[in-house]
Amino acid sequence: CYELDTLVIIARHVEGVLGGRMMGGGFGGCTVNLAYSEAIEALSRAVEQEYPLRTGRQARIDMCRAAGGPGNAWVM
């Protein structure tokens, strides 16, 4: 949808964002973006400023930090 495409386009133009994708478009959807820690403020600012101008809507921004995986587990 246009709104999700717009979020991905905005993110792609922020230095330090490695990529983004759309998720759950059938339920309103969201985007997930992978970015360096140093790029988070610029990404948030870009979305807060540009998204309403392009869509007439506000975006909610939730940030999280990736954790290490579970590692190896052996079942005997």
pLDDT at position 25: 66
Looking at the predicted structure, is the pLDDT value of residue 8 above 80? yes
**Mean per-residue pLDDT over the chain, rounded:** 89
Which residues, at least 6 apart from 3, have a Cβ–Cβ distance to it below 8 Å? 29, 55, 57
Q: What is the pLDDT of residues 11-40, one digit of tens each?
A: 999 999 999 888 876 677 889 999 999 999
| CA distance linking residue 18 with residue 29, whole number of Å | 20
Is the pLDDT score of 49 beyond 90? Answer: yes
Q: Which residues lie across from 21 on neighbouring strands?
A: 32
Tell me which fold the domain 2-55 belongs to.
Alpha-Beta Plaits (3.30.70)
How many beta carbons lie within 10 A of that of residue 14, not counting itself?
20
Select from 33, 42, 34 the least CA-distant residue to 4: 33
